[in-house]
Amino acid sequence: MTTPSLTELAAGLTAAASANPAVAPAAEPGLVEFRPEPHSLPSFFMWTLGCQMNQSDSEEMAGQLLAVGCTRAGSMETADLVVINTCAVREHAEAKVIGRQGVLANLKRERPGMRVVLTGCGVRESERSGLAHRFKAVDMFLRPDEEPELALRLGLVSAQAPIGLRTVATSATTVLSGRPVSAADRLAASRATALSEDRVARSSTISAWLPIVYGCDKTCTYCIVPFSRGPERSRPYDDILAEAREIAAAGFQELTLLGQNVNSYGHDLPAEERFAHIETERSAGRRLDLRSRPDLAELLRSIDGIRGADGGPAIPRLRFITSHPWDLSDRLIDAMASCESVVEHLHLPIQSGDDAILQRMGRQYTVGHYKERLARIREAVPGIAISTDVIVGFCGESEEQFHATLSVLEEIGYDTVFAASYSPRPGTPALRLDDDVPPAVKRRRLNELLALQEKIGLERNQAWLGRDVEVLVDHVTPARRGLDPGDSDAEDVDEPTTSVPELAGSAGEGSVALAGRTRHSKLVHLAGDPALVGHRVRVHVEHAGPFALRGRLVESPDEPDVVA
Ligand code: SAM
Ligand code: SF4
Ligand code: F3S
């Protein structure tokens, strides 16, 4: 396949959109060339896979396209421009997109002006030459750090937009261990520009994403993320606070700080006198110096300090994801315990319950260290809900080592486990190890683990029976849940392997089936007025399943959400 030039791409997009019968005929044909044609810009559809970081990136890309005058299409089939924001964490995630190439190619045959752009972690510099072969229907590939240039590269900025997007400086690709990765330093600056120009199209008016650190400096041997997203780059502290203030002013109920390892936020920022009280320093393979630099604890305290008219936190719920166990400092635990808005939930990936496997994974901690941190958190925040990630069938994992993971799951009693079989990823260090656990054994271990977690999850959820909890209602439960990419923009995210729709409440007259989450991140189904979406309500828990709770609305609040 020959990749079309940018001029051809832009011409194709414009031609596709001009064929739109909705374009009103000009009253004065001679004037046509002198005025902008709002309908000549393409309609777009974003298909977002992967984690919250991708969802946040998609919000920024959608914001760019809307800012230049593009419109959203209802489905892939009706869009002039399809943007696929890919995930590469497991082979399956990439295979899903490769599997849609035929459908996309057919659509393009029927509608020759249609264009497809592929972005996200599937676009790695080291494999750029093979991309066109694997993703045959794609016209343009953008690495994660090139995403701020989407509209520009499509030729939609200066030619079409009444006010051009400010372009961002392009810095050179960084080379990591002799390999080129997508690692330019411009993401923080382009986010700041996007925010100042109101170009972040948030997908919710209830919960907001806020990226605080891009990339990852860890070297987990199985993981492709450092190769797709490059090394860590923290956003400036004041930029994050300014965005949090905007989120508060806009009335969001929940804010989630994002990063592959939010616990190392700030180590790459310049030291400043105002942070002289921060003295953390640690050496873990590489020295992580946080002295006189802002850290996550400082951010939590400052965001919690943004107050509303009633004196309470302006954003009632503050979350962060993901925490690497090695970098979980006492300062952070203290901040979690003392900030009113920080929720009683922590996602702390363990990956394996065996020290030799953890070492082979390059995780930098032992099971003992992990348990010590967890005990400290549980002491500081009683009843906190804990979720985790586990990989089964990693290179050389014996039956005994797998059983060590099961024992740790039982001992810790996780609320949720996101589990997956090990999937070798191109370019990662683990490729040098023998992927010697047969696929059938990986499957069997995964099923065994999920069955055990179902039992543990049920026990954890049953502890909530008969209690009143605060639920942030975030959606009306659809009659049928589908994950077809045609359904909506950000549907196809990685759900926990253990999460299935269940326990949908039966709605009475005048009310519908609603769902939301508690501060402990428990999914709760209830029946009520659709106007409750976006509100925090008190719910009496009447039923518990392994993955969700069901309850009924109660008038008055009672005890806080603490479970012994
Ligand atoms: N930064 C987070 C951390 O350190 O836990 C997680 C990021 S990773 C994108 C999300 C999860 O995907 C990981 O926690 C791990 O369990 C899983 N994962 C990553 N690479 C994998 C692989 N090659 N095979 C299977 N699961 C993988
Ligand atoms: Fe991947 Fe490890 Fe970084 Fe998480 S901490 S993104 S698992 S390299
Ligand atoms: Fe996937 Fe990239 Fe996130 S690999 S899980 S989209 S960081």
Q: Is 261 in the pocket of ligand 2 (CB under 6 A)?
A: yes
Mean pLDDT calculated for residue range 4-19: 62
Instruction: Please give all residues whose beta carbon lies within 6 A of any atom in ligand 1, as ranges.
Output: 51, 89-90, 222-223, 225, 260-261, 322, 324, 349, 351, 389, 391, 420, 422-423, 425
pLDDT tens digit sequence for 57-99: 999 999 999 999 999 999 999 999 999 999 999 999 999 999 9
**pLDDT exceeds cutoff 50 at 170:** no
Determine the Cα–Cα distance for residues 349 and 391; give it in Å rounded to an integer. Answer: 10
Ligand nearest to the CA of residue 90, numbered in listed order: 1
| Sheet strands (E) in 167-290 | 174-176, 179-181, 207-211, 213-214, 233-234, 254-258, 281-284, 286-289
**pLDDT exceeds cutoff 60 at 557:** no
Determine the Cα–Cα distance for residues 122 and 128; give it in Å rounded to an integer. Answer: 10
Q: Higher confidence at residue 130 or residue 85?
A: 85
Tell me if 225 sits within 8 A of 216, measured CB to CB: yes
Ligand 2, atom 2: closest residue by C-alpha: 220
Q: pTM, whole model, 2 decimals?
A: 0.89
Q: Which residues contact 121 (CB under 8 A, 6 or more apart)?
A: 50, 54, 86, 87, 88, 89, 144, 224, 225, 228, 229
Provide the pLDDT confidence category of residue 169 given band limits of 50, 70 and 90: very low
Q: What is the pLDDT of residue 29?
A: 62
If you average pLDDT over each of 132-141, 455-464, 484-493, which comes out highest? 455-464
Distance from the alpha carbon of residue 506 to the mean position of ligand 1, in angstroms: 37
User: In this prediction, what percent of the chain has a pLDDT beyond 90?
Assistant: 70
Q: In ligand 3, which atom is closest to the CA atom of 224?
A: 4
User: In this prediction, what percent of the chain has a pLDDT beyond 70?
Assistant: 79
3-state secondary structure of 22: coil
Q: What is the pLDDT of residue 156?
A: 84
Ligand 2, atom 1: closest residue by C-alpha: 223
**pLDDT exceeds cutoff 80 at 563:** no
Provide the pLDDT confidence category of residue 510 given band limits of 50, 70 and 90: confident
pLDDT tens digit sequence for 179-220: 544 445 678 889 999 999 999 999 999 999 999 999 999 999
SS3 content of the chain, % helix, strand, coil (to 5): 35, 20, 45
Q: Which of 48, 53, 59, 182 to mutate to test the pocket of ligand 3 (most atoms within 8 A of CB)?
A: 53
Max CA pair span of the chain: 80
Tell me if 158 sits within 8 A of 457, measured CB to CB: no
Lowest mean pLDDT among 47-61, 270-284, 373-387: 270-284
Determine the Cα–Cα distance for residues 210 and 57; give it in Å rounded to an integer. Answer: 10
Q: Report the chain's mean pLDDT, rounded to a whole number.
A: 86
DSSP-derived letter for residue 27 is S
> Looking at the DSSP assignment, which residues form a beta bridge with residue 208?
255
Mean pLDDT calculated for residue range 438-447: 98
Determine the Cα–Cα distance for residues 265 and 28; give it in Å rounded to an integer. Answer: 58
Q: Which of 231, 138, 255 is nearest to 181 (CA)?
A: 231
CB atoms within 10 A of CB 545: 17
Determine the Cα–Cα distance for residues 36 and 372; give it in Å rounded to an integer. Answer: 63
Q: What is the pLDDT of residue 327?
A: 86
**pLDDT exceeds cutoff 60 at 445:** yes
For residue 457, what is the enclosing H or E element?
helix 439-462
DSSP-derived letter for residue 313 is B
Q: What is the pLDDT of residue 19?
A: 54
Lowest mean pLDDT among 66-80, 269-283, 296-310, 350-364: 269-283
Q: Which of 176, 324, 351 to mutate to test the pocket of ligand 2 (most atoms within 8 A of CB)?
A: 324
Distance from the alpha carbon of residue 97 to the mean position of ligand 3, in angstroms: 14
3-state secondary structure of 321: strand
Total length of the chain: 564
Tell me if 296 sits within 8 A of 332, measured CB to CB: yes
Q: Which of 89, 260, 428, 494 to mutate to test the pocket of ligand 3 (most atoms within 8 A of CB)?
A: 89
Mean pLDDT calculated for residue range 472-493: 57
Q: In ligand 2, which atom is closest to the CA atom of 322?
A: 4
Ligand 3, atom 7: closest residue by C-alpha: 225
**pLDDT exceeds cutoff 90 at 20:** no
pLDDT tens digit sequence for 343-357: 999 999 999 999 999
Q: In ligand 3, which atom is closest to the CA atom of 260?
A: 7
pLDDT tens digit sequence for 523-551: 999 999 999 999 999 999 999 999 999 99
- Delineate the domains of the chain, giving CATH numbers in brackets: 1-174 (3.40.50.12160), 204-343 (3.30.750.210), 347-463 (3.30.750.200), 468-553 (no CATH)
Q: What is the pLDDT of residue 157?
A: 79
Q: What is the pLDDT of residue 171?
A: 39
Distance from the alpha carbon of residue 233 to the mean position of ligand 2, in angstroms: 14
Q: Which of 61, 121, 218 to mutate to test the pocket of ligand 3 (most atoms within 8 A of CB)?
A: 121
Q: What is the pLDDT of residue 279?
A: 81
Distance from the alpha carbon of residue 487 to the mean position of ligand 3, in angstroms: 21
Provide the pLDDT confidence category of residue 163 given band limits of 50, 70 and 90: very low
Determine the Cα–Cα distance for residues 46 and 79; give it in Å rounded to an integer. Answer: 9
Concatenated DSSP letters of 71-137: EE-SSGGG-SEEEEEE--SSHHHHHHHHTTHHHHHHHHHHSTT-EEEEEETT--GGGHHHHHHHSTT
Determine the Cα–Cα distance for residues 104 and 138; give it in Å rounded to an integer. Answer: 9
Peptide bond just before 366 cis, omega within 30 deg = no
